[in-house]
A and B are shown apart, each in its own frame.
Chain A
């Protein structure tokens, strides 16, 4: 790429980068490069994973050195280009990572990862199929279709030990085997890109950063099970992912990788995109199928399983984005090679989205068998602002909250299930002392309650009752019997719900009850929220020694509860205060606190 003596600049241009201001940085870079002063060219890539330092540009120097700069602004662009390209000087303060000194800056964020699914994310331009091909892309599909039988393919995937990355962890090879054996004149393959878990964005990042890896995985899967038509069911909330998929699919048709007689083998295979319309339950297989058919996305009892009776009543195989993105690597390198990574029953790698109070939020792909501690501290850099780690929430609304004492749990399907949480799709939200675990449980219940499709009673009414109880505990109106009521309801919902949404809904409550029971008891018996979150249980006050009397708090208070002379310490009238905490966030001196 850089053989012409020019430096290649690669701008992180995924949703996270754009949200952080990559468009303005892109314009500034283009403007500067257009002056002709610099021997450099600009290109884009998907998310590199360093979401916490966006917007980001990587400089690929002609000598092979790579330097990643972060926290860019349009203003900083001229200074950066001049320093790096003309003065050959590295602006260390902005460096995120440099290849000639892997430990420098945030280098260990990547250094501690093992990237298979994210192999190309941030490295190639996702809108150019030739860049994917240059990395060996579509060679695995060619190999699969021209030199392997479907049975050999399924065998290879079984050997890899790959399990469904959507959350449930069902062995992918076995699943393909069911669909292969199912009888039907037409079979379908569906890629589940309805990433609805709040706090999970790995599927979006893969689709935006390396859509071809998913398409190639789909070609291989389609051939293995005997499906000629495939769908990608993607959230409408991911416009950039949808846009890049459109480009990628069109490019594949042009190259003959999709359409009729692909790779000249006589095999027909094509992909259609279906935009989801916003319903969390559509991540469930049978609900997703109903949604593609144009119906309300409501699950139905299984069996019959989709492998036998799926879309339009035909055999259908559904795999998640991350599962499919790993397939080309497995076929290219062999299932055994993949199985070398990981634990006995959980092979390969898992992509996590680190977010919440973690210092480095972003994409982390780690080998199975890492401890949660390694993921959160070695990769994620620990908790922000030096605060103490309190919990990690894994698996979104279906998952659970694990305390510090569980940090040595391995990233392994079975080890995590044993804790009461689930591996889930990969969301990892770190909580610190300022997060109230009862409020967090209430938050998840309010989510699942709103997203319950309403078909079965345990989920529809059970979640409502649980939410009511949690809400009153947060409001300081909890009753001593409420904890037992929650446990009884949770057990009933778990055992009697129709689908996994209902069946896993109690997990956030059960895990917080198990590991953070004292917080519930504090709310119910002592009417205290030690994290200072639940409005009814806190008092806001101004420290007179810190307050400078600037009046910013009084100005923002919606109920006029704050009074004081200018330049004199102010005070909050607790009887009037509605504890909205707006003053707390507005105070420039941090003189206001909640207790």
Chain B
């Protein structure tokens, strides 16, 4: 557990530290209607948007907290929960759907024991269903972090994921 916490801090700032948010606020100080880029950049710095960040952002940029929360919950890009070390996104666009994306999701779920939107208890993997990523010719597609795995057969899902499991074990 301790190791995981350390890695999280390497990737993202902790919401107790508001310095990165100050930088983000400064970046858009002059820009009208910049709430969405503010939230996007804040999420990039912290990994997700928790209450502390949203409160500080509202205060710093002159919004009501309800406005900030309203926008953060409207758009799918924003997360209110932290994610695991590896983010698995299974595409559920039309082409992927007819190519069996459901089976891919199911196989990931079975293998990791988590459902769509959940994170494994060891914080290694988060599973997400996403809408079309626009690489339909490779359907069905699963994106792990920044790597796209296309023309995926459910039978190969475990093989792909084992690689990431192995990698993270090595770094421990």
Contact = CB atoms under 8 A, between A and B. Distances in A.
Given A20-B150, A199-B132, A277-B39, A51 B78 contact: no
17 contacts: A18-B148, A20-B150, A198-B131, A201-B135, A237-B133, A274-B36, A296-B74, A297-B75, A357-B98, A427-B94, A429-B95, A440-B97, A447-B131, A582-B110, A585-B100, A585-B153, A586-B155
A293 B63 CA distance: 13
A133 interface: no
Interface centre among B75, B93, B97, B136 (most CB of A within 10 A): B136
B94 to A, nearest CB: 4
A427 B132 CA distance: 11
B34 A294 contact: yes
B78 A355 contact: no
A468 to B, nearest CB: 19
A215 B75 CA distance: 27
Interface string B112-140: 00000000000000000011111111110
Contact of B76 (A51, A277, A355, A429): A277
A16 interface: yes
Contacts of B154: 582, 585-586
Contacts of B34: 294
A159 B92 CA distance: 41
Contact of B33 (A15, A19, A294, A580): A294
A444 to B, nearest CB: 8
Contacts of B155: 556, 585-586
B94 A275 contact: no
A581 B110 CA distance: 13
B71 A278 contact: no
B138 A20 contact: yes
A431 B98 contact: yes
A236 B97 CA distance: 22
Given A197-B132, A295-B35, A355-B136, 6 more contacts: A293-B33, A296-B74, A312-B33, A353-B136, A357-B98, A361-B137
B94 A393 contact: yes
Contacts of A200: 132, 134
A278 B77 contact: yes
Contacts of B77: 236, 277-278
A444 B98 CA distance: 12
Interface in A232-253: 236-238
A355 B95 contact: yes
A355 B71 CA distance: 33
B138 A16 contact: yes
Contacts of A52: 137
B9 to A, nearest CB: 25
Interface centre among A444, A585, A586 (most CB of B within 10 A): A585
Interface centre among A52, A198, A278, A581 (most CB of B within 10 A): A198
B82 to A, nearest CB: 18
A15 B136 CA distance: 11
A355 B95 CA distance: 6
Interface residues of A, number: 58
A558 interface: yes
B8 interface: no
7 nearest CB pairs, A to B: A51-B137, A277-B75, A294-B35, A355-B136, A19-B148, A201-B134, A198-B93
B131 A280 contact: yes
Contacts, number: 140
A125 interface: no
Interface centre among A199, A294, A427 (most CB of B within 10 A): A294
A429 B94 contact: yes
Interface in A280-331: 280, 291-297, 312
B134 A277 contact: no
A393 B97 CA distance: 13
A52 B97 CA distance: 18
Given A20-B150, A237-B133, A581-B103, A558 B74 contact: no
A201 B92 CA distance: 14
Interface string B32-58: 111111011000000000000000000
Interface centre among A292, A295, A444 (most CB of B within 10 A): A295
Given A20-B138, A443-B94, A586-B154, A279 B76 contact: yes
B91 to A, nearest CB: 9
A356 B95 contact: yes
Contacts of A581: 103
Nearest to B100: A585
Interface of A: 15-16, 18-20, 51-52, 54, 195-201, 204, 236-238, 274-280, 291-297, 312, 353, 355-357, 361-362, 393, 396, 427, 429, 431, 435, 440, 443-444, 447, 453, 556, 558, 580-582, 585-586
Contacts of A447: 131
Interface in B130-166: 130-139, 141, 148, 150, 153-155
A440 B101 CA distance: 13
B98 A435 contact: yes
A54 B137 contact: yes
A175 to B, nearest CB: 24
Nearest to B150: A19
A16 B133 CA distance: 10
Contact of A297 (B74, B95, B132, B135): B74
Given A295-B71, A582-B154, A199 B95 contact: yes
Contacts of B75: 276-279, 297
Contacts of B97: 198, 440, 443
A124 B73 CA distance: 40
Contacts of A443: 94, 97
Contact of A198 (B132, B137, B148): B132
Contacts of B40: 236, 275, 277
Given A277-B78, A581-B103, A16 B137 contact: yes
B98 A204 contact: no
Contacts of A362: 137
B6 to A, nearest CB: 28
Nearest to A197: B132
A277 B74 CA distance: 9
Contacts of A431: 98
A269 to B, nearest CB: 19
A204 B138 contact: no
Contacts of A393: 94
Contacts of A356: 94-95, 98-99, 136, 139
